[in-house]
């Protein structure tokens, strides 16, 4: 599991891979806060994510809300939204997080 940040160009890309859950939640929070400080569009890539839990969702949801407050764009960029889609559906959160 890993969280990597790439700040270059017009957007900040956060690359997530592996199991994104409570074990890495602290790192993910710190990375999202750093990304939002940059003032650039934030794109979070879910490519390579094998599993997500509710803590990951909460962080992404809260980061999106923070981005909106700052007037920044915030987007998830996977090729497929699985397993994120399954998580959202299972937990009644489908539609809560904008694509």
Strands 11-20 and 41-45, bridge-based pairing: parallel
Is residue 24 helix, strand or coil? helix
Q: What minimum distance in Å lies between the beta carbon of 79 and another protein? A: 17
What is the rounded distance in angstroms from the CA atom of residue 47 to the CA atom of residue 83?
10
Q: What minimum distance in Å lies between the beta carbon of 23 and another protein? A: 4
Q: What minimum distance in Å lies between the beta carbon of 3 and another protein? A: 9
Q: Which DSSP helix (H) or strand (E) runs through 20?
A: strand 11-20
Q: What minimum distance in Å lies between the beta carbon of 8 and another protein? A: 23
Is the N-terminal amide bond of 93 cis, ω within 30° of 0?
Answer: no
Task: State which residue, 90 or 98, has the beta carbon closest to another protein.
Answer: 90
> Where along the sequence are the contacts to another protein (CB under 8 A)?
1-2, 21-29, 32-33, 36, 51, 53-55, 57-59, 61-63, 65-66, 83, 86-87, 89-93, 96
Task: State which residue, 9 or 44, has the beta carbon closest to another protein.
Answer: 44
User: Using an 8 Å Cβ cutoff, are 21 and 51 in contact?
Assistant: yes
């Amino acid at each position: 599991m890993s969280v990597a940040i790439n700040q270059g160009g017009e957007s900040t890309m956060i690359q997530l891979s592996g199991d994104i859950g409570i074990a890495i939640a602290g790192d993910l929070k710190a990375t999202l806060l750093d990304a939002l400080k940059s003032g650039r569009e934030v794109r979070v890539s879910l490519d390579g994510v094998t599993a997500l839990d509710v803590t990951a969702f909460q962080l992404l949801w809260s980061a999106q809300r923070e981005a909106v407050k700052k007037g920044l764009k915030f987007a998830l960029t996977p090729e497929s939204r699985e397993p994120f889609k399954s998580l959202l559906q299972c937990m009644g959160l489908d539609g809560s997080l904008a694509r």
